[in-house]
A and B are shown apart, each in its own frame.
Chain A
Protein backbone atom coordinates (compact mmCIF):
# COMPACT_ATOMS: atom_id res chain seq x y z
CA UNK A 1 0.00 0.00 0.00
CA UNK A 2 2.79 2.39 0.87
CA UNK A 3 4.23 1.65 -2.53
CA UNK A 4 1.07 2.86 -4.19
CA UNK A 5 1.01 5.90 -1.95
CA UNK A 6 4.55 6.82 -2.91
CA UNK A 7 4.03 6.50 -6.63
CA UNK A 8 3.04 10.15 -7.13
CA UNK A 9 6.14 11.11 -5.15
CA UNK A 10 8.36 9.07 -7.47
CA UNK A 11 6.69 10.55 -10.52
CA UNK A 12 7.17 14.07 -9.16
CA UNK A 13 10.81 13.35 -8.44
CA UNK A 14 11.36 11.95 -11.93
CA UNK A 15 9.74 15.06 -13.37
CA UNK A 16 12.01 17.38 -11.36
CA UNK A 17 15.13 15.38 -12.24
CA UNK A 18 14.09 15.39 -15.90
CA UNK A 19 13.63 19.14 -15.81
CA UNK A 20 17.11 19.62 -14.37
CA UNK A 21 18.63 17.34 -16.98
CA UNK A 22 17.11 19.55 -19.67
CA UNK A 23 18.25 22.77 -17.97
CA UNK A 24 21.82 21.59 -17.43
CA UNK A 25 22.13 19.56 -20.61
CA UNK A 26 20.51 21.73 -23.28
CA UNK A 27 23.32 24.30 -23.71
CA UNK A 28 25.87 21.48 -23.68
CA UNK A 29 23.87 19.62 -26.32
CA UNK A 30 23.55 22.80 -28.35
CA UNK A 31 27.32 23.32 -28.21
CA UNK A 32 27.97 19.88 -29.67
CA UNK A 33 25.10 20.33 -32.13
CA UNK A 34 26.59 23.63 -33.35
CA UNK A 35 30.01 22.04 -33.75
CA UNK A 36 28.40 19.47 -36.06
CA UNK A 37 26.51 21.98 -38.22
CA UNK A 38 27.51 23.82 -41.37
CA UNK A 39 27.63 27.59 -41.74
CA UNK A 40 24.73 27.48 -44.20
CA UNK A 41 22.60 25.69 -41.63
CA UNK A 42 23.70 27.93 -38.78
CA UNK A 43 23.02 31.25 -40.46
CA UNK A 44 20.37 30.48 -43.08
CA UNK A 45 18.17 27.42 -42.67
CA UNK A 46 18.75 27.05 -38.93
CA UNK A 47 20.72 24.16 -37.46
CA UNK A 48 18.95 20.81 -37.16
CA UNK A 49 17.59 19.81 -33.76
CA UNK A 50 19.29 16.42 -33.88
CA UNK A 51 23.03 15.67 -33.97
CA UNK A 52 24.76 15.06 -37.30
CA UNK A 53 27.01 12.44 -35.75
CA UNK A 54 28.13 11.30 -39.20
CA UNK A 55 30.06 14.57 -39.48
CA UNK A 56 32.31 13.63 -36.55
CA UNK A 57 34.86 12.32 -39.06
CA UNK A 58 35.29 15.83 -40.49
CA UNK A 59 36.10 17.38 -37.11
CA UNK A 60 39.87 16.70 -37.10
CA UNK A 61 40.11 18.32 -40.52
CA UNK A 62 38.23 21.48 -39.48
CA UNK A 63 40.19 21.75 -36.25
CA UNK A 64 43.49 21.72 -38.11
CA UNK A 65 42.53 25.08 -39.64
CA UNK A 66 42.79 26.83 -36.24
CA UNK A 67 45.79 26.77 -33.85
CA UNK A 68 43.73 25.18 -31.07
CA UNK A 69 46.30 22.46 -30.34
CA UNK A 70 49.07 25.03 -30.07
CA UNK A 71 46.89 27.07 -27.69
CA UNK A 72 45.93 24.03 -25.67
CA UNK A 73 49.62 23.19 -25.32
CA UNK A 74 50.18 26.67 -23.90
CA UNK A 75 47.22 26.13 -21.55
CA UNK A 76 48.76 22.85 -20.44
CA UNK A 77 52.14 24.49 -19.77
CA UNK A 78 50.50 27.25 -17.70
CA UNK A 79 48.32 24.71 -15.91
CA UNK A 80 51.19 22.34 -15.12
CA UNK A 81 53.35 25.20 -13.83
CA UNK A 82 50.54 26.56 -11.69
CA UNK A 83 49.80 23.10 -10.31
CA UNK A 84 53.42 22.31 -9.44
CA UNK A 85 54.13 25.61 -7.73
CA UNK A 86 50.79 25.54 -5.86
CA UNK A 87 51.35 22.02 -4.60
CA UNK A 88 54.88 22.65 -3.29
CA UNK A 89 53.77 25.76 -1.39
CA UNK A 90 50.48 24.32 -0.17
CA UNK A 91 51.81 21.01 1.16
CA UNK A 92 54.24 22.87 3.43
CA UNK A 93 51.68 25.45 4.49
CA UNK A 94 48.90 22.93 5.12
CA UNK A 95 51.24 20.83 7.28
CA UNK A 96 52.24 23.87 9.33
CA UNK A 97 48.65 25.08 9.73
CA UNK A 98 47.42 21.65 10.74
CA UNK A 99 50.20 20.56 13.09
CA UNK A 100 51.98 23.57 14.58
CA UNK A 101 51.14 26.46 16.83
CA UNK A 102 52.98 29.62 15.89
CA UNK A 103 52.70 33.39 16.07
CA UNK A 104 50.50 34.90 13.42
CA UNK A 105 48.80 31.65 12.47
CA UNK A 106 45.41 33.34 12.46
CA UNK A 107 46.73 36.14 10.27
CA UNK A 108 48.19 33.70 7.74
CA UNK A 109 44.95 31.72 7.63
CA UNK A 110 42.97 34.91 7.12
CA UNK A 111 45.32 36.08 4.37
CA UNK A 112 44.89 32.81 2.51
CA UNK A 113 41.13 33.07 2.83
CA UNK A 114 41.15 36.72 1.80
CA UNK A 115 42.73 35.87 -1.57
CA UNK A 116 39.48 34.11 -2.34
CA UNK A 117 37.47 37.30 -2.00
CA UNK A 118 39.97 39.53 -3.77
CA UNK A 119 38.61 40.32 -7.25
CA UNK A 120 41.26 39.39 -9.84
CA UNK A 121 40.05 42.37 -11.85
CA UNK A 122 41.31 44.56 -9.01
CA UNK A 123 44.65 42.77 -8.67
CA UNK A 124 45.22 42.70 -12.40
CA UNK A 125 45.62 46.49 -12.52
CA UNK A 126 48.53 46.90 -10.03
CA UNK A 127 49.93 43.51 -11.08
CA UNK A 128 50.11 44.81 -14.63
CA UNK A 129 52.17 47.76 -13.39
CA UNK A 130 54.45 45.43 -11.39
CA UNK A 131 54.84 43.00 -14.30
CA UNK A 132 55.82 45.85 -16.62
CA UNK A 133 58.67 46.85 -14.34
CA UNK A 134 59.79 43.22 -13.75
CA UNK A 135 59.63 42.34 -17.46
CA UNK A 136 57.15 39.53 -16.82
CA UNK A 137 54.63 40.62 -19.45
CA UNK A 138 54.10 38.24 -22.36
CA UNK A 139 55.76 35.34 -20.51
CA UNK A 140 53.99 32.08 -19.67
CA UNK A 141 55.86 31.79 -16.38
CA UNK A 142 54.62 35.25 -15.44
CA UNK A 143 51.10 33.85 -15.71
CA UNK A 144 52.09 30.87 -13.56
CA UNK A 145 53.31 33.26 -10.88
CA UNK A 146 50.10 35.30 -10.96
CA UNK A 147 47.74 32.28 -11.03
CA UNK A 148 49.42 30.51 -8.14
CA UNK A 149 48.60 33.29 -5.67
CA UNK A 150 44.91 32.46 -6.16
CA UNK A 151 45.01 28.69 -6.69
CA UNK A 152 47.43 27.78 -3.90
CA UNK A 153 45.11 28.78 -1.00
CA UNK A 154 42.45 26.39 -2.31
CA UNK A 155 45.00 23.57 -2.23
CA UNK A 156 45.97 24.58 1.32
CA UNK A 157 42.34 24.25 2.46
CA UNK A 158 41.97 20.81 0.90
CA UNK A 159 45.29 19.47 2.21
CA UNK A 160 44.85 20.95 5.68
CA UNK A 161 41.45 19.27 5.97
CA UNK A 162 43.09 15.97 4.97
CA UNK A 163 46.00 16.30 7.43
CA UNK A 164 43.59 17.31 10.23
CA UNK A 165 41.95 13.90 9.84
CA UNK A 166 45.20 12.01 10.56
CA UNK A 167 45.48 11.29 14.33
CA UNK A 168 48.52 12.80 16.03
CA UNK A 169 49.38 9.33 17.39
CA UNK A 170 50.53 8.35 13.90
CA UNK A 171 53.47 10.72 14.17
CA UNK A 172 54.07 9.84 17.83
CA UNK A 173 54.43 6.20 16.88
CA UNK A 174 56.74 7.08 14.02
CA UNK A 175 58.94 9.14 16.30
CA UNK A 176 59.27 6.30 18.76
CA UNK A 177 60.27 4.08 15.85
CA UNK A 178 63.06 6.55 15.08
CA UNK A 179 61.58 8.71 12.34
CA UNK A 180 63.01 12.21 12.92
CA UNK A 181 60.60 15.13 13.14
CA UNK A 182 62.01 16.71 10.01
CA UNK A 183 61.09 13.74 7.81
CA UNK A 184 57.63 13.20 9.23
CA UNK A 185 55.96 15.24 6.50
CA UNK A 186 57.52 13.30 3.65
CA UNK A 187 57.65 9.85 5.27
CA UNK A 188 54.39 9.75 7.24
CA UNK A 189 51.94 12.45 6.20
CA UNK A 190 52.38 12.64 2.42
CA UNK A 191 51.70 8.96 1.72
CA UNK A 192 48.51 9.18 3.79
CA UNK A 193 47.07 12.20 1.98
CA UNK A 194 47.89 11.14 -1.58
CA UNK A 195 44.20 11.13 -2.69
CA UNK A 196 43.75 14.71 -1.48
CA UNK A 197 46.99 15.75 -3.15
CA UNK A 198 45.71 14.27 -6.38
CA UNK A 199 42.46 16.20 -5.99
CA UNK A 200 44.27 19.46 -5.23
CA UNK A 201 46.52 18.84 -8.21
CA UNK A 202 43.56 18.40 -10.55
CA UNK A 203 41.78 21.47 -9.19
CA UNK A 204 44.90 23.67 -9.48
CA UNK A 205 45.68 22.31 -12.92
CA UNK A 206 42.26 23.25 -14.24
CA UNK A 207 42.28 26.62 -12.51
CA UNK A 208 45.33 27.30 -14.64
CA UNK A 209 43.71 25.64 -17.67
CA UNK A 210 40.54 27.77 -17.47
CA UNK A 211 42.15 31.06 -16.46
CA UNK A 212 41.36 33.93 -18.78
CA UNK A 213 41.70 37.37 -17.18
CA UNK A 214 45.43 37.38 -16.40
CA UNK A 215 46.29 35.67 -19.67
CA UNK A 216 44.15 38.08 -21.67
CA UNK A 217 45.81 41.06 -19.99
CA UNK A 218 49.43 39.92 -19.81
CA UNK A 219 49.95 37.95 -23.03
CA UNK A 220 49.88 39.98 -26.23
CA UNK A 221 51.64 37.49 -28.50
CA UNK A 222 49.06 35.19 -30.19
CA UNK A 223 51.68 32.43 -30.34
CA UNK A 224 51.70 32.33 -26.53
CA UNK A 225 47.95 32.54 -25.95
CA UNK A 226 46.30 29.81 -23.91
CA UNK A 227 43.15 28.29 -25.41
CA UNK A 228 40.85 30.46 -23.25
CA UNK A 229 42.22 33.65 -24.80
CA UNK A 230 42.50 32.09 -28.25
CA UNK A 231 38.85 31.01 -28.26
CA UNK A 232 37.65 34.42 -27.10
CA UNK A 233 39.57 36.02 -29.96
CA UNK A 234 37.03 34.39 -32.31
CA UNK A 235 34.14 36.33 -30.80
CA UNK A 236 32.85 38.89 -33.26
CA UNK A 237 35.29 37.80 -35.90
CA UNK A 238 33.78 36.19 -38.98
CA UNK A 239 36.84 34.67 -40.66
CA UNK A 240 36.48 31.34 -38.85
CA UNK A 241 33.32 29.23 -39.22
CA UNK A 242 31.30 29.09 -36.00
CA UNK A 243 31.18 25.28 -36.14
CA UNK A 244 34.97 25.19 -36.04
CA UNK A 245 35.07 27.54 -33.06
CA UNK A 246 32.54 25.36 -31.22
CA UNK A 247 34.43 22.18 -32.06
CA UNK A 248 37.57 23.77 -30.62
CA UNK A 249 35.61 24.81 -27.52
CA UNK A 250 34.37 21.23 -27.09
CA UNK A 251 37.92 19.92 -27.37
CA UNK A 252 39.04 22.45 -24.75
CA UNK A 253 36.13 21.44 -22.49
CA UNK A 254 36.53 17.66 -22.50
CA UNK A 255 39.60 17.32 -20.22
CA UNK A 256 38.23 19.83 -17.70
CA UNK A 257 34.89 18.03 -17.38
CA UNK A 258 36.38 14.52 -17.21
CA UNK A 259 38.82 15.40 -14.45
CA UNK A 260 36.28 17.45 -12.52
CA UNK A 261 33.92 14.50 -12.37
CA UNK A 262 36.73 12.33 -11.02
CA UNK A 263 37.53 14.61 -8.07
CA UNK A 264 34.20 16.35 -7.41
CA UNK A 265 33.91 14.90 -3.90
CA UNK A 266 37.23 16.42 -2.76
CA UNK A 267 36.37 19.74 -4.38
CA UNK A 268 33.20 19.92 -2.31
CA UNK A 269 34.95 19.11 0.97
CA UNK A 270 37.78 21.51 0.17
CA UNK A 271 35.47 24.40 -0.58
CA UNK A 272 33.37 24.02 2.53
CA UNK A 273 36.36 23.33 4.79
CA UNK A 274 38.05 26.46 3.45
CA UNK A 275 35.03 28.62 4.12
CA UNK A 276 34.43 27.27 7.62
CA UNK A 277 37.90 27.16 9.02
CA UNK A 278 39.80 29.41 6.65
Chain B
Protein backbone atom coordinates (compact mmCIF):
# COMPACT_ATOMS: atom_id res chain seq x y z
CA UNK B 1 0.00 0.00 0.00
CA UNK B 2 1.58 3.24 -1.09
CA UNK B 3 0.10 6.62 -0.50
CA UNK B 4 2.74 8.38 -2.56
CA UNK B 5 1.38 9.69 -5.83
CA UNK B 6 2.13 7.47 -8.78
CA UNK B 7 4.73 8.78 -11.15
CA UNK B 8 2.66 9.96 -14.04
CA UNK B 9 3.92 9.51 -17.52
CA UNK B 10 4.12 12.44 -19.88
CA UNK B 11 1.30 11.68 -22.20
CA UNK B 12 0.96 12.63 -25.82
CA UNK B 13 -2.48 14.09 -26.70
CA UNK B 14 -3.29 10.95 -28.64
CA UNK B 15 -3.00 8.84 -25.51
CA UNK B 16 -5.46 11.04 -23.64
CA UNK B 17 -8.51 9.09 -24.61
CA UNK B 18 -6.92 5.84 -23.58
CA UNK B 19 -6.08 7.35 -20.22
CA UNK B 20 -9.69 8.29 -19.77
CA UNK B 21 -10.63 4.67 -20.45
CA UNK B 22 -8.38 3.63 -17.56
CA UNK B 23 -10.53 5.64 -15.17
CA UNK B 24 -13.63 3.91 -16.48
CA UNK B 25 -12.36 0.62 -15.07
CA UNK B 26 -11.61 1.94 -11.60
CA UNK B 27 -14.52 4.39 -11.36
CA UNK B 28 -17.39 2.00 -10.47
CA UNK B 29 -15.62 0.43 -7.48
CA UNK B 30 -14.31 3.79 -6.33
CA UNK B 31 -17.70 5.48 -6.52
CA UNK B 32 -19.26 2.51 -4.79
CA UNK B 33 -16.92 2.60 -1.81
CA UNK B 34 -17.33 6.38 -1.68
CA UNK B 35 -21.10 6.05 -1.56
CA UNK B 36 -21.49 3.15 0.85
CA UNK B 37 -18.43 3.47 3.09
CA UNK B 38 -16.85 6.90 2.86
CA UNK B 39 -20.04 8.98 2.78
CA UNK B 40 -21.57 7.05 5.73
CA UNK B 41 -18.29 7.45 7.58
CA UNK B 42 -18.22 11.21 7.00
CA UNK B 43 -21.88 11.36 7.92
CA UNK B 44 -21.00 9.39 11.06
CA UNK B 45 -18.33 11.88 12.02
CA UNK B 46 -20.85 14.66 11.41
CA UNK B 47 -23.52 12.89 13.50
CA UNK B 48 -21.02 12.91 16.34
CA UNK B 49 -21.22 16.70 16.39
CA UNK B 50 -25.02 16.75 16.64
CA UNK B 51 -27.68 15.60 19.10
CA UNK B 52 -29.45 13.19 16.71
CA UNK B 53 -31.73 10.49 18.11
CA UNK B 54 -32.69 7.24 16.42
CA UNK B 55 -36.34 8.26 16.56
CA UNK B 56 -35.60 11.15 14.20
CA UNK B 57 -32.42 10.17 12.34
CA UNK B 58 -32.38 13.10 9.93
CA UNK B 59 -33.23 15.72 12.55
CA UNK B 60 -30.77 16.89 15.16
CA UNK B 61 -28.77 20.05 15.47
CA UNK B 62 -25.09 20.92 15.69
CA UNK B 63 -23.85 20.91 19.28
CA UNK B 64 -20.09 21.06 18.69
CA UNK B 65 -17.79 18.87 20.73
CA UNK B 66 -20.29 18.12 23.51
CA UNK B 67 -20.57 14.41 22.71
CA UNK B 68 -16.82 14.01 22.62
CA UNK B 69 -16.16 15.87 25.85
CA UNK B 70 -18.90 14.03 27.73
CA UNK B 71 -17.48 10.71 26.48
CA UNK B 72 -13.96 11.64 27.53
CA UNK B 73 -15.28 12.49 30.97
CA UNK B 74 -17.21 9.26 31.47
CA UNK B 75 -15.81 6.22 33.26
CA UNK B 76 -17.88 3.90 31.01
CA UNK B 77 -16.05 5.18 27.94
CA UNK B 78 -12.59 4.54 29.38
CA UNK B 79 -13.79 1.15 30.52
CA UNK B 80 -14.81 0.28 26.96
CA UNK B 81 -11.42 1.46 25.63
CA UNK B 82 -9.60 -0.68 28.21
CA UNK B 83 -11.84 -3.65 27.45
CA UNK B 84 -11.21 -3.30 23.72
CA UNK B 85 -7.43 -3.18 24.21
CA UNK B 86 -7.48 -6.16 26.57
CA UNK B 87 -9.79 -8.16 24.29
CA UNK B 88 -7.61 -7.34 21.28
CA UNK B 89 -4.30 -8.15 22.99
CA UNK B 90 -5.44 -11.52 24.32
CA UNK B 91 -7.11 -12.45 21.03
CA UNK B 92 -4.02 -11.55 18.98
CA UNK B 93 -1.63 -13.41 21.28
CA UNK B 94 -3.97 -16.38 21.70
CA UNK B 95 -4.71 -16.84 18.01
CA UNK B 96 -1.05 -16.36 17.03
CA UNK B 97 0.24 -18.90 19.55
CA UNK B 98 -2.49 -21.48 18.86
CA UNK B 99 -2.47 -20.92 15.09
CA UNK B 100 1.31 -21.09 14.77
CA UNK B 101 1.56 -24.22 16.94
CA UNK B 102 -1.15 -25.92 14.92
CA UNK B 103 0.63 -24.96 11.69
CA UNK B 104 3.96 -26.30 12.93
CA UNK B 105 2.32 -29.55 14.00
CA UNK B 106 0.73 -29.97 10.57
CA UNK B 107 3.79 -28.90 8.59
CA UNK B 108 5.22 -32.40 8.13
CA UNK B 109 3.73 -34.67 5.50
CA UNK B 110 1.82 -37.56 7.04
CA UNK B 111 -1.16 -39.70 6.09
CA UNK B 112 -4.44 -37.86 6.60
CA UNK B 113 -2.85 -34.43 6.88
CA UNK B 114 -5.27 -32.76 4.46
CA UNK B 115 -8.18 -34.27 6.36
CA UNK B 116 -6.88 -32.99 9.70
CA UNK B 117 -6.19 -29.56 8.26
CA UNK B 118 -9.76 -29.43 7.02
CA UNK B 119 -11.04 -30.50 10.42
CA UNK B 120 -9.01 -27.84 12.22
CA UNK B 121 -10.39 -25.24 9.79
CA UNK B 122 -14.00 -25.93 10.82
CA UNK B 123 -14.32 -23.22 13.49
CA UNK B 124 -13.28 -20.49 11.07
CA UNK B 125 -15.33 -21.83 8.20
CA UNK B 126 -18.63 -22.05 10.07
CA UNK B 127 -20.95 -19.02 10.29
CA UNK B 128 -20.29 -16.93 13.40
CA UNK B 129 -23.96 -17.15 14.33
CA UNK B 130 -23.81 -20.95 14.45
CA UNK B 131 -20.70 -20.81 16.63
CA UNK B 132 -22.41 -18.36 18.96
CA UNK B 133 -25.44 -20.64 19.36
CA UNK B 134 -23.18 -23.57 20.26
CA UNK B 135 -21.15 -21.58 22.78
CA UNK B 136 -24.25 -20.19 24.49
CA UNK B 137 -25.29 -23.78 25.05
CA UNK B 138 -21.80 -24.94 26.07
CA UNK B 139 -21.70 -22.13 28.65
CA UNK B 140 -25.22 -22.89 29.94
CA UNK B 141 -24.93 -22.89 33.76
CA UNK B 142 -27.01 -25.98 34.50
CA UNK B 143 -26.74 -28.23 31.43
CA UNK B 144 -23.78 -26.80 29.50
CA UNK B 145 -20.74 -28.85 28.55
CA UNK B 146 -18.29 -26.77 30.61
CA UNK B 147 -20.15 -27.11 33.88
CA UNK B 148 -20.98 -30.76 33.28
CA UNK B 149 -17.30 -31.55 32.75
CA UNK B 150 -16.46 -29.34 35.74
CA UNK B 151 -18.86 -31.33 37.93
CA UNK B 152 -17.51 -34.65 36.69
CA UNK B 153 -13.93 -33.55 37.41
CA UNK B 154 -14.99 -32.10 40.73
CA UNK B 155 -13.76 -28.56 39.97
CA UNK B 156 -17.23 -27.14 40.32
CA UNK B 157 -19.15 -24.83 38.02
CA UNK B 158 -19.26 -21.19 36.98
CA UNK B 159 -21.66 -18.67 35.48
CA UNK B 160 -19.58 -18.40 32.34
CA UNK B 161 -21.58 -15.62 30.73
CA UNK B 162 -23.18 -14.10 33.84
CA UNK B 163 -20.35 -13.87 36.37
CA UNK B 164 -18.29 -10.67 35.86
CA UNK B 165 -15.18 -12.66 36.69
CA UNK B 166 -15.65 -15.05 33.75
CA UNK B 167 -17.54 -13.01 31.15
CA UNK B 168 -14.56 -11.66 29.24
CA UNK B 169 -12.66 -14.95 29.51
CA UNK B 170 -15.64 -16.85 28.06
CA UNK B 171 -15.95 -14.42 25.16
CA UNK B 172 -12.20 -14.69 24.55
CA UNK B 173 -12.29 -18.50 24.52
CA UNK B 174 -15.08 -18.49 21.93
CA UNK B 175 -13.29 -15.83 19.86
CA UNK B 176 -9.89 -17.52 19.85
CA UNK B 177 -11.51 -20.86 19.04
CA UNK B 178 -13.36 -19.29 16.11
CA UNK B 179 -10.43 -17.36 14.64
CA UNK B 180 -7.22 -19.36 15.26
CA UNK B 181 -7.65 -21.60 12.15
CA UNK B 182 -7.12 -18.69 9.75
CA UNK B 183 -3.79 -17.96 11.46
CA UNK B 184 -2.95 -21.64 11.09
CA UNK B 185 -3.74 -21.62 7.37
CA UNK B 186 -1.73 -18.45 6.68
CA UNK B 187 1.29 -19.60 8.71
CA UNK B 188 1.08 -23.05 7.12
CA UNK B 189 1.34 -21.38 3.70
CA UNK B 190 4.30 -19.31 4.89
CA UNK B 191 6.09 -22.40 6.25
CA UNK B 192 6.27 -23.74 2.69
CA UNK B 193 8.89 -21.07 2.01
CA UNK B 194 11.27 -22.36 4.70
CA UNK B 195 13.98 -24.30 2.83
CA UNK B 196 13.99 -27.92 3.99
CA UNK B 197 17.81 -28.13 3.56
CA UNK B 198 18.31 -25.45 6.19
CA UNK B 199 16.28 -27.34 8.77
CA UNK B 200 18.00 -30.58 7.77
CA UNK B 201 21.42 -28.92 8.20
CA UNK B 202 20.44 -27.63 11.61
CA UNK B 203 19.30 -31.11 12.60
CA UNK B 204 22.61 -32.62 11.47
CA UNK B 205 24.42 -29.99 13.53
CA UNK B 206 22.49 -31.28 16.49
CA UNK B 207 20.15 -28.36 16.97
CA UNK B 208 17.08 -29.23 19.01
CA UNK B 209 13.59 -28.43 17.83
CA UNK B 210 13.30 -25.20 19.79
CA UNK B 211 16.56 -23.65 18.64
CA UNK B 212 15.94 -24.69 15.04
CA UNK B 213 12.53 -23.02 15.28
CA UNK B 214 14.02 -19.83 16.69
CA UNK B 215 17.04 -19.72 14.40
CA UNK B 216 15.60 -20.87 11.07
CA UNK B 217 11.82 -21.11 10.97
CA UNK B 218 10.89 -18.00 12.90
CA UNK B 219 12.96 -15.53 10.80
CA UNK B 220 11.36 -16.97 7.66
CA UNK B 221 7.79 -16.63 8.82
CA UNK B 222 8.28 -13.36 10.72
CA UNK B 223 7.00 -11.07 7.92
CA UNK B 224 3.86 -13.25 7.68
CA UNK B 225 3.38 -13.21 11.44
CA UNK B 226 3.51 -9.42 11.40
CA UNK B 227 0.78 -9.26 8.75
CA UNK B 228 -1.31 -11.78 10.65
CA UNK B 229 -0.87 -9.77 13.83
CA UNK B 230 -2.15 -6.68 12.02
CA UNK B 231 -5.13 -8.55 10.57
CA UNK B 232 -5.99 -10.07 13.95
CA UNK B 233 -5.70 -6.67 15.64
CA UNK B 234 -7.93 -4.86 13.16
CA UNK B 235 -10.47 -7.68 13.19
CA UNK B 236 -10.51 -7.79 16.99
CA UNK B 237 -11.14 -4.07 17.29
CA UNK B 238 -14.00 -4.47 14.78
CA UNK B 239 -15.47 -7.70 16.11
CA UNK B 240 -19.11 -7.45 17.06
CA UNK B 241 -21.29 -10.54 16.73
CA UNK B 242 -19.50 -12.96 19.05
CA UNK B 243 -19.32 -10.46 21.90
CA UNK B 244 -22.71 -8.84 21.46
CA UNK B 245 -24.61 -12.11 21.10
CA UNK B 246 -22.81 -13.97 23.89
CA UNK B 247 -22.97 -11.31 26.59
CA UNK B 248 -24.49 -8.13 25.11
CA UNK B 249 -21.59 -6.21 26.63
CA UNK B 250 -22.19 -7.55 30.15
CA UNK B 251 -21.92 -8.93 32.76
CA UNK B 252 -21.53 -5.53 34.45
CA UNK B 253 -19.98 -4.01 31.29
CA UNK B 254 -16.98 -6.38 31.45
CA UNK B 255 -17.22 -7.17 27.73
CA UNK B 256 -18.46 -3.77 26.59
CA UNK B 257 -15.92 -3.10 23.83
CA UNK B 258 -16.08 0.14 21.85
CA UNK B 259 -17.88 -1.54 18.95
CA UNK B 260 -20.45 -3.19 21.22
CA UNK B 261 -21.09 0.06 23.05
CA UNK B 262 -21.55 1.91 19.72
CA UNK B 263 -24.37 -0.46 18.85
CA UNK B 264 -25.96 -0.33 22.30
CA UNK B 265 -25.85 3.47 22.35
CA UNK B 266 -27.48 3.67 18.94
CA UNK B 267 -30.07 0.93 19.07
CA UNK B 268 -30.79 0.42 22.78
CA UNK B 269 -30.35 4.00 24.04
CA UNK B 270 -31.53 5.40 20.66
CA UNK B 271 -28.68 7.90 20.92
CA UNK B 272 -27.25 8.02 17.38
CA UNK B 273 -24.98 10.98 18.01
CA UNK B 274 -23.08 9.59 21.01
CA UNK B 275 -22.80 6.29 19.16
CA UNK B 276 -21.27 8.11 16.21
CA UNK B 277 -18.82 9.96 18.44
CA UNK B 278 -17.82 6.62 19.96
CA UNK B 279 -17.37 5.30 16.44
CA UNK B 280 -14.88 8.07 15.70
CA UNK B 281 -12.79 6.92 18.67
CA UNK B 282 -13.07 3.32 17.51
CA UNK B 283 -11.85 4.27 14.06
CA UNK B 284 -9.00 6.24 15.59
CA UNK B 285 -7.95 3.13 17.49
CA UNK B 286 -7.82 1.02 14.29
CA UNK B 287 -6.03 3.80 12.49
CA UNK B 288 -3.30 4.18 15.14
CA UNK B 289 -2.67 0.43 15.04
CA UNK B 290 -2.45 0.41 11.24
CA UNK B 291 -0.06 3.35 11.11
CA UNK B 292 2.10 1.80 13.83
CA UNK B 293 2.16 -1.42 11.82
CA UNK B 294 3.31 0.29 8.65
CA UNK B 295 6.06 2.16 10.52
CA UNK B 296 7.33 -1.12 11.97
CA UNK B 297 6.92 -2.84 8.61
CA UNK B 298 9.00 -0.26 6.67
CA UNK B 299 11.68 -0.24 9.36
CA UNK B 300 11.89 -4.04 9.34
CA UNK B 301 12.01 -4.36 5.55
CA UNK B 302 14.73 -1.71 5.46
CA UNK B 303 16.65 -3.62 8.10
CA UNK B 304 16.25 -6.85 6.14
CA UNK B 305 17.32 -5.16 2.93
CA UNK B 306 20.45 -3.65 4.46
CA UNK B 307 21.57 -6.79 6.27
Q: Which residues from chain A sit less than 8 Å from chain B, CB to CB?
A: 9, 13, 16-17, 20-21, 23-28, 30-31, 34, 42-43, 46-47, 88-90, 92-93, 95-97, 100-130, 132-133, 145-146, 148-150, 152-153, 156, 181-182, 185, 209-210, 212-213, 217, 227-228, 231-232, 234-235, 242, 245-246, 249-250, 252-253, 256-257, 260-261, 264-265, 267-269, 271-272, 275-278
Contacts and interface: CB of A to CB of B under 8 A. Distances in A.
A100 B44 CA distance: 33
B262 A125 contact: yes
Interface stretch (B16-24, B66-74, B75-83, B164-172): B16-24
Contact of B43 (A34, A100, A130): A130
A110 B262 contact: no
Interface in B229-284: 230-231, 234, 237-238, 240-241, 245, 258-260, 262-263, 266-267, 272, 275-276, 279, 282-283
B173 to A, nearest CB: 10
B267 A217 contact: yes
Contact of B1 (A101, A110, A210, A228): A110
A112 B181 CA distance: 25
Interface string B201-244: 00000000100000000000000100100110010011011000
A96 B22 contact: yes
A17 B18 CA distance: 56
B129 interface: yes
Interface of B: 1-9, 18-19, 21-23, 25-26, 28-30, 32-41, 43-44, 47, 52, 54, 57-58, 98, 101-102, 105-106, 108, 116, 118-138, 142-143, 145, 148, 177, 181-182, 185-186, 189, 209, 224, 227, 230-231, 234, 237-238, 240-241, 245, 258-260, 262-263, 266-267, 272, 275-276, 279, 282-283, 286-287, 290
A152 B32 contact: yes
Nearest to B267: A217
Contact of B181 (A24, A150, A182): A24
Nearest to A20: B102
Nearest to A88: B28
Contact of A129 (B47, B126, B231, B245): B47
B272 A129 contact: yes
20 contacts: A24-B120, A25-B119, A27-B123, A27-B177, A30-B145, A31-B130, A95-B25, A96-B25, A105-B26, A111-B30, A118-B238, A119-B262, A119-B286, A156-B29, A235-B136, A242-B137, A246-B134, A249-B130, A256-B127, A264-B185
Do most interface residues of chain A lie in helix, strand or loop, or is the interface mixed? helix
Contacts of A278: 1
A214 to B, nearest CB: 11
Given A129-B43, A148-B32, A269-B189, A46 B57 contact: no
A125 B54 CA distance: 9
Contacts of A107: 3
A231 B133 contact: yes
A212 B133 CA distance: 13
Contacts of A24: 119-123, 177, 181
A129 B58 contact: yes
Nearest to B227: A275
B262 A122 contact: yes
Given A125-B262, A245-B133, A108 B26 contact: yes
B41 A118 contact: yes
B130 A252 contact: yes
A17 B106 contact: yes
Given A103-B8, A120-B238, A275 B231 contact: yes
A133 B52 CA distance: 15
Nearest to B137: A34
Contacts of B116: 17, 21
A277 B1 contact: yes
Contact of B129 (A47, A105, A232, A261): A232
Given A20-B102, A275-B227, A128 B57 contact: yes
A157 B133 CA distance: 32
A271 B121 contact: no
B124 A111 contact: no
Contacts of B127: 209-210, 228, 252-253, 256
